[in-house]
Structure 1
Amino acid sequence: MKLAVSAISLCVTAAVLAGCGGSDDDPGSGKSDASKYVDGATFTMAMAGDPGKLDPQSSASTQLFTVNQLAYDNLVSVDAKTGEIQSQLASAWKVDGTTVTLTLEKGITCADGSDFTATTAVDNITYVGDPKNKSPYLGTFLPAGATAKADDAAGTVTITLAQPAPFVLNGLASLPMVCDAGMKDRSSLAAKTAGTGPYELTEAVPGDHYTYEVRDGYTWGPNGATTAEKGMPKTVVMKIVQNEGTSANLLLSGEINAVTVQGPDAKRLTAAKLFSTSTPAMVGEQWYNHDTGHATSDAAVRMGLTQALDLKELASVATAGEGGPATTFAAIQPVSCPGDSITGALPAQDVDAAKSALAGKKITFLYSSAAGSAVAAAAELAVQEWKAAGADVTSKGVDETALQGAIFGTGDWDVAWVPLNVNSPDQLTPFLSGPGLADGGTNFSGIDNKDYTDGVAAASAKNGTEGCDTWLDAESKLVAAADVVPFANNEVKTFGNGAEFDYPGQFMPTSVRMVAK
């Protein structure tokens, strides 16, 4: 699951990015003078996979997280450059120990014309917070055990946390809010949207495209963004194009206006001097299925699969020579806890030791076919090295729907490449510890590392960044045990043709401006 860049990839490829701004050093980057913007146009963006079920609180995949930004808002937003909390549905907020108070902007309406109230926000928090609903955002963007109360007259939402949560506002900045109609009939969200966002879904053709129309009168976007700005597209089309090379060709020909590329096609798009933004992201992260019945439930096998690999070379191949090794689990800027929890903890390559652990072991290895040709090449290299160490490996490049179906459903996997992209370490805790899928949790690989959970408890008791050293040390314990192996980071670029935008690790529809040709 790319909790967010397609590189989500929970982005499950989890998705979940909370971002950074574009680089002005990129050829072609930097927005044009506003006089060049045109109104009433259609903006078409390529996505590497289908978002699947459209209920915005049902999945943390990159594709769903991306389209969520069009129709749904969050309670607050995060400044992509400074990391400061900014307004969205809430115009004011306060954190006092385990109490979070948010005051909603006045006059917020849903796409169906109904009001968005404090009670609506509380209903969302209650829904995501109920383990029976199996939202992947529980523990990721909403702390487990949190409860909420509404005061509609004052327009306030009061959240009571079960324990301190140092980055609670960062999480709420990624938690989509559903309007009353969708809350009352969750099945209706499969084919239409029920949000307060700047756009509304008007056509859904699964596997091909999703069309959205702009909402007039929208004034409560991130930091006060509106839909009245010159150059904002009237229509947005999210087109499914699984092959990066095809997407690059469509962009160059002007048939689409934007695409995120992490493989070698990025070089020719850069050479064409197109508009671009970039964001650092985790693009290589190796997970093992710790559940009983899998060869990888054995710690020695997990270590052997790690020691068999030349991780530095793997990172180079996976990023087409443009990236490098991973350094922290939370890689999206602005990173809440910068540092390096990975390099010094990674088990060194030791093929002889790997051979003794892997001889004859049957391994099923999954990776996303939507991640591009560079990741596919890296997967081939990994399989070669595992087979050289004696493992019997079945490798499958699958689309993200199938990948999520395996890791969150069938369990038919032993090793999976699933980069999870977030900007604060607490957002990953439910994927790295706690209840597994059978118990309603999101710990899809079944990790049980006491050193990590003890470190998380200690870090969570500290205020904000005061706990960063403890967070990073806890992550190192996972890496040293080969419970999960982050191995590659890259600057992932999103290119534009006929359009300009900000893309701080997640799609920002209110930033899109169409440019006159």
Structure 2
Amino acid sequence: MRSIRKPAITVIAASAALATLAGCSAGSGGAAPTDKYVDGGDFVLALSADPGSLDPQMSAGGALFAVSKFAYDNLVSVDDKGEIGSQLAKDWKVDGTTVTMTLNDGITCSDGTDFTAQTAADNITWVADPANKSPFLGAYLPAGATAAASGSTLTVTLATPAPFVLQGLANLPMVCDAGLKDRSSLASATNGTGPYVLDKATPNDSYTYSVNKKYAWGPNGATTEEKGLPATVTARIVTNETTAANLLLSGDVNAATIIGPDRDRIEAANLFETKTPAVIGEQWFNQAKGHPAFDPAVRLALTQALDLAQLQKVITSDKGEAATALAVLPPSGCTYDAVKGSVPATDLNGAKAALDDAGWVAGADGIRAKDGKPLAVSFQYANALGAAGAAAAELATNAWKELGVQVDAKQQDDTTLAGTLFSGGPWDIAWIPVNVSSPDQLVGFLSGAAAPNGANFASIDNADYSAAVTSAMGMTGTEGCDTWKSAEAALYQAADVVPFANSVVPTFGKNAEFSVLGNIEPMSIRMLG
């Protein structure tokens, strides 16, 4: 195996949902010596939302991304230092716009068939086809990529240089042949090469996986013979964070992310814990024609009406800090503050004046209207933000009402909300953080074809951002960081997307320990006696 290490190059560490916030981090509190590991346990993970369809390449929802890791592998892996390692591929090389990989021998699928280089090529071809509407196109796989196989060798040809291509492929789940031929079969079953196989699916309740005892091609050669690896994994749907905290303390679940007010009592219990910085407050506007935020004056006014500093304190339960950039999960490819001085400052009177100038005039009832149409917005926010998220959403709603906006606020689970966004469904404002480690992984979400034909769910069309991205994509590693910073600043200045809060997001464990890289890494789980 040849390991490629590039300074400051990182991997996309989460999808478009809060459920996959946690980045790679070390555990603390409650950690046990290795002689305390026990075999044959059942590891129970609390998820804040049901994953919906289990097709791993058809949704960017966080719950699906979390469970897909148990049943599906990627071509390569990435560690907490950003170093690329083996997984399905044992050797790899990037030469300009050509990526060449050699697959491991003897890889088998859960149905007993072989996983070959041709299977990998077919996966890439399917995701690369815009007609299939995979949200991973442009995020994990560069647009325009093609793939071919010869024996055990996979060759991926890129349309243009992609500075973080390996990090993207380290997050693109690979499906076996039968699943590729019949996508409908993946909705409620799994067909991959991963360390676990789905045994039972009970939507909105739980998903149970059993260990694949033949698995021997994990990250850097990991196998399921590791001591302490659980025999079964159960993803249990727990939509209420207080309930999840109670289940964790009682030992009925072994892992849960707790970010709201219950966090204090969980921390006091001295459980195993991982921590990572992540964007937790992020505001998006639907800029499709016919929606209020299509008007730049409306986006700016809706942003100026908010006290973002206060929202940051509330949504993080006063444990976070101001947002700095879109890609902050460690190990981060670029470190900068593009938010300060770029996001419009709080100015309620200025926001009112801007709407007046744009023709949105307040009526006798205080609601603004233009050409007889009231300024009404649908505001949706993820339930994974917990009670703190609901409190922050209430503050924002009140501020917009004071501005003269009619607001219909609704909390949704992250799977439903992601489905609404990517299907082009009815929404105007959304709070759903999209967490990554490298800025190029967000390009497909911030430009290009709009949903449902592409991943650009907010219908953003920012010429300054796109021009800067074109320049940055031709640079290597940290060479492009200043240009990526300029690209992000252009988005904030136009209020295309408004990050307003970062937090150190904890994932707690009881009777188990694990590492987290985007989600819990299956091969890192160890059950404790």
| TM-score tier (shorter) | over 0.9
Matches within 5 A, 1:155-166: 155-166=152-163
Secondary structure of 2:519 counterpart: coil
Secondary structure of 1:276 counterpart: strand
Q: Is the 8 A contact 1:499 1:515 kept in 2?
A: yes
Is 1:53 the counterpart of 2:53 in the alignment? yes
Secondary structure of 1:57 counterpart: coil
Q: Is the 8 A contact 2:197 2:210 kept in 1?
A: yes
Q: Which residue identity lines up with residue 24 of structure 2 in the other structure?
A: C
Q: What does the per-residue CA deviation read over 1:21-77, in whole Å, with 9 as the maximum and x for residues that have no partner?
A: 2254xxx15x31111111111111110000001000000111000001100000111
Matches within 5 A, 1:327-342: 327-342=324-339
Match of 1:413 in 2: 427
Is 1:501 the counterpart of 2:514 in the alignment? yes
Q: CA deviation at 1:515?
A: 0.4
Of 380, 390, 398, which residue of structure 2 is paired with 1:376?
A: 390
Q: Is the 8 A contact 1:4 1:60 kept in 2?
A: no
Q: Which residue identity lines up with residue 363 of structure 1 in the other structure?
A: V
Secondary structure of 1:378 counterpart: helix
Matches within 5 A, 1:356-375: 356=353, 357=355, 359=362, 360=368, 361-375=375-389
Q: CA deviation at 1:292?
A: 1.1
Q: Is the 8 A contact 1:18 1:422 kept in 2?
A: no
What is the CA–CA distance in structure 2 between the aligned matches of 1:214 and 1:455, rounded to whole Å? 46
Q: Is the 8 A contact 1:22 1:504 kept in 2?
A: no
Q: Give the number of equivalent residue pairs.
A: 501
Normalized against structure 1, the TM-score is what? Answer: 0.94
Question: CA 1:402–1:217 in 2, change beyond 3 Å: closer, same or farther?
Answer: closer
Q: What does the per-residue CA deviation read over 1:164-202, in whole Å, with 9 as the maximum and x for residues that have no partner?
A: 100000100000000111111111111111101000000
Q: What does the per-residue CA deviation read over 1:267-317, in whole Å, with 9 as the maximum and x for residues that have no partner?
A: 110000011111211111100010111111100000000000111111110
What is the CA–CA distance in structure 2 between the aligned matches of 1:509 and 1:255, rounded to whole Å? 19
Is 1:20 the counterpart of 2:19 in the alignment? no
Q: Which residue identity lines up with residue 298 of structure 2 in the other structure?
A: V
Q: CA deviation at 1:472?
A: 1.2
Match of 2:527 in 1: 514
Match of 1:106 in 2: 105
Match of 1:445 in 2: 458
Normalized against structure 2, the TM-score is what? Answer: 0.92
Matches within 5 A, 1:115-514: 115-152=114-151, 155-356=152-353, 357=355, 359=362, 360=368, 361-409=375-423, 411-438=425-452, 440-514=453-527
What is the CA–CA distance in structure 2 between the aligned matches of 1:16 and 1:277, rounded to whole Å? 13
Secondary structure of 2:458 counterpart: coil
Q: Which residue identity lines up with residue 237 of structure 1 in the other structure?
A: T
Q: Which residue identity lines up with residue 161 of structure 1 in the other structure?
A: L
| Larger displacement relative to structure 2 (46-55 or 341-350) | 341-350
Q: What does the per-residue CA deviation read over 1:188-217, in whole Å, with 9 as the maximum and x for residues that have no partner?
A: 111111101000000000000000000112
Q: What does the per-residue CA deviation read over 1:131-167, in whole Å, with 9 as the maximum and x for residues that have no partner?
A: 0100000000000000011012xx1111110001000
Q: Is the 8 A contact 2:62 2:415 kept in 1?
A: no
| Larger displacement relative to structure 2 (332-341 or 129-138) | 332-341
What is the CA–CA distance in structure 1 between the aligned matches of 2:22 and 2:321, rounded to whole Å? 21
What is the CA–CA distance in structure 1 between the aligned matches of 2:68 and 2:171, rounded to whole Å? 10
What is the CA–CA distance in structure 2 between the aligned matches of 1:410 and 1:345, rounded to whole Å? 28
Q: Which residue identity lines up with residue 39 of structure 1 in the other structure?
A: D
What is the CA–CA distance in structure 2 between the aligned matches of 1:17 and 1:428, rounded to whole Å? 15
What is the CA–CA distance in structure 2 between the aligned matches of 1:411 and 1:215, rounded to whole Å? 39
Question: CA 1:366–1:69 in 2, change beyond 3 Å: closer, same or farther?
Answer: same
Q: Is the 8 A contact 2:60 2:418 kept in 1?
A: no
What is the CA–CA distance in structure 2 between the aligned matches of 1:222 and 1:265, rounded to whole Å? 34
Q: Is the 8 A contact 1:18 1:423 kept in 2?
A: no
What is the CA–CA distance in structure 2 between the aligned matches of 1:223 and 1:312, rounded to whole Å? 43
What is the CA–CA distance in structure 2 between the aligned matches of 1:44 and 1:323, rounded to whole Å? 28
**5+ residue gaps, structure 2:** 1-11, 363-367, 369-374
What is the CA–CA distance in structure 2 between the aligned matches of 1:306 and 1:454, rounded to whole Å? 24
Q: Which residue identity lines up with residue 369 of structure 1 in the other structure?
A: N
Q: Which residue identity lines up with residue 508 of structure 2 in the other structure?
A: F
- Percent sequence identity is 57
Match of 2:3 in 1: none
What is the CA–CA distance in structure 2 between the aligned matches of 1:422 and 1:362, rounded to whole Å? 32
Secondary structure of 1:49 counterpart: coil
Alpha-carbon RMSD: 1.5
Match of 2:79 in 1: 79
What is the CA–CA distance in structure 1 between the aligned matches of 2:400 and 2:163, rounded to whole Å? 40
**5+ residue gaps, structure 1:** none
Question: CA 1:487–1:52 in 2, change beyond 3 Å: closer, same or farther?
Answer: same
What is the CA–CA distance in structure 2 between the aligned matches of 1:39 and 1:88, rounded to whole Å? 24
Q: Is the 8 A contact 2:444 2:455 kept in 1?
A: yes
Q: What does the per-residue CA deviation read over 1:97-136, in whole Å, with 9 as the maximum and x for residues that have no partner?
A: 1011111111111112211100000000000000010000
Q: Which residue identity lines up with residue 493 of structure 2 in the other structure?
A: A
What is the CA–CA distance in structure 2 between the aligned matches of 1:50 and 1:383, rounded to whole Å? 27
Q: CA deviation at 1:370?
A: 2.8
